[in-house]
Amino acid sequence: MARAINFSAGPAALPEEVLTIAAAEMLDWHGSGQSVMEMSHRGREFISIAEAAERDLRELLAIPANYKVLFLQGGATLQFEMVPINLLAGKASADYVHTGEWAKKAIKEARAFCQVNVVASSEDRQFTYAPAQADWKLNKDAAYVHYTANETIGGVEFHWVPDTGDVPLVADMSSNLMSKPVDVAKYGLIYAGAQKNIGPAGLTIVIVRDDLIGKAVPTPPAMLDYKIQADNESMFNTPPTYAIYIAGLVFQWLKKQGGLAAIEQQNIAKASLLYDFLDASRFFKNPVAKADRSRMNVPFTLADAALDEEFLKGAKARGMVQLKGHRSVGGMRASIYNAVSLSAVKTLVDYMAEFENSHG
Ligand SMILES: *Cc1c(COP(=O)(O)O)cnc(C)c1O
């Protein structure tokens, strides 16, 4: 069996070791005689799986004790709604930073609940940079400040943590959580859909400071209330059990890699290899400001878009899949999450060099 070299933006590549363990445990998890998929979420076996997953996540990110970890569903998209429902806390407005496709969606959803102040935007340069802190026009009475830590489509990443003073900072880290250490204490809330860099689709991770819980709009839908989810240890209803199990295996794998500082070094090496090649190339281009380039998602274009199909075909013939760019921006995109190896990126860069030589 040949495994593809998978550059998908999400659902994305998972570590092969994790899939191998999951396969071996598929029919009989640790002598229980059951697949994890078949277990009661309230049973001793699954509770131990969920507890280990949370423990390892807390250890990897060094999450302070006054933060709750929630394992929810509905994707990052549901957080676009749950954040205002829970964090407005009686206030009339929230501040949002507009950096591209995902920020735009978060802003659109929040507008149903409050006045949204777009306090900084990179629209003037087609969302190819992260607006500098000095240009953020923050409001003291905003309930929170929301930004997209990594724009998965545009390939723009914040390599610094915004300072919002006493106003809680909220981050959509769907595509870069677990790619590097994070100083969680600087945030009020962090959320991420799992399917980019953590595990299967269906699981959404929310890390929230406990004083921000319990201030939702009056009579919120129970499922959308962080307090109810937290009080029930993310088991108000049946959680996405199998997705939690796989995420737990990914956390164990991350610990074996040496934790997030070690993974960050690997991610820097992978991203540098690809960006250095792009910068030296006269045929391929990446539009993002150098200081703000994503280590996870690398969009690039060919000098002639008429060659896109041929490029993708050649990549496929070499075992590389999912390089086509997002429909909204075109071109190519290589997503190089934790599970994509340095040798996979080398294979891509070698192919790009070869393609440039024959078509450039
Ligand atoms: C993928 C993605 C989302 C949407 O995630 P869903 O799980 O599909 O709701 C939101 N924000 C960012 C940054 C993403 O990469």
pLDDT digits (tens, 9 = 90+) for 176-227: 999 999 999 999 999 999 999 999 999 999 999 999 999 999 999 999 999 9
Residue 227 forms part of a structural domain: yes
pLDDT for 188: 98
- Residues ≥6 apart with Cβ < 8 Å to 138: 95, 119, 145, 164, 165, 167
The rounded percent of the chain whose pLDDT value lies above 90 is 98
pLDDT for 211: 98
Residue 271 forms part of a structural domain: yes
Residue 4 forms part of a structural domain: no
> Are 228 and 305 in the same domain?
no
pLDDT range class, residue 23, cuts 50, 70, 90: very high
Side chain identity, residue 83: V
> Are 315 and 208 in the same domain?
no
Q: How far apart are alpha carbons 336 and 267 in whole angstroms?
A: 8
pLDDT at 331 over 90: yes
pLDDT for 78: 98
End of a domain among 215, 237, 256? 256
pLDDT at 1 over 80: no
- Indicate which atom in ligand 1 lies nearest the CA of residue 151: 13
Backbone φ, ψ for residue 167 (5° rounding): -80, 125
Mean pLDDT of 64-90: 98
> Are 204 and 135 in the same domain?
yes
Residue 151 forms part of a structural domain: yes
Taking CA atoms, 343 is separated from 31, 113, 259, 273, 349, in Å, by 36, 46, 20, 10, 10
CB atoms within 10 A of CB 268: 13
Mean pLDDT of 19-25: 98
Indicate which CATH number applies to the domain containing 350. 3.90.1150.10
End of a domain among 192, 225, 256? 256
> Are 184 and 221 in the same domain?
yes
The rounded percent of the chain whose pLDDT value lies above 70 is 100
> Are 115 and 241 in the same domain?
yes
pLDDT for 33: 98
> Are 244 and 164 in the same domain?
yes
Q: Is-catalytic flag, 136?
A: no
> Are 130 and 268 in the same domain?
no
pLDDT at 32 over 90: yes
Which range marks the domain in which residue 59 is found? 16-256
pLDDT range class, residue 68, cuts 50, 70, 90: very high
Span 343-356, pLDDT tens digits: 999 999 999 999 99
pLDDT for 19: 98
pLDDT for 360: 79
pLDDT for 166: 96
For residue 338, with 0-12 CB atoms within 10 Å meaning exposed, 13-18 middle and 19 or more buried, which class applies?
buried
Residue 124 forms part of a structural domain: yes
pLDDT for 329: 82
Considering 29, 102, 104, 180, which one is annotated as catalytic?
102
pLDDT range class, residue 327, cuts 50, 70, 90: confident
Residue 186 forms part of a structural domain: yes
> Are 159 and 240 in the same domain?
yes
> Are 107 and 219 in the same domain?
yes
List residues near ligand 1 (CB under 6 A).
Answer: 10, 75-77, 102, 148, 152, 172, 174-175, 193, 196
Distance 76 CA to ligand 1 centre (A): 5
> Are 163 and 288 in the same domain?
no
Indicate which CATH number applies to the domain containing 43. 3.40.640.10
pLDDT at 88 over 80: yes
Residue 6 forms part of a structural domain: no
The pair of structure tokens assigned to 313 is 């075909």
> Are 109 and 199 in the same domain?
yes
Considering 56, 95, 172, 225, which one is annotated as catalytic?
172
pLDDT for 330: 87
Span 256-273, pLDDT tens digits: 999 999 999 999 999 999
Q: How far apart are alpha carbons 355 and 168 in whole angstroms?
A: 48
pLDDT at 74 over 80: yes
Domain count, the chain: 2
> Are 279 and 144 in the same domain?
no
pLDDT range class, residue 328, cuts 50, 70, 90: confident
Pocket-testing residue among 8, 72, 77, 294, ligand 1, by greatest number of atoms within 8 A of Cβ:
77
Distance 354 CA to ligand 1 centre (A): 34
pTM above 0.95, yes or no: yes
End of a domain among 234, 256, 278? 256
Residue 2 forms part of a structural domain: no
Q: Is-catalytic flag, 196?
A: yes
Q: Is-catalytic flag, 166?
A: no
The protein residue whose alpha carbon is closest to atom 7 in ligand 1 is: 75
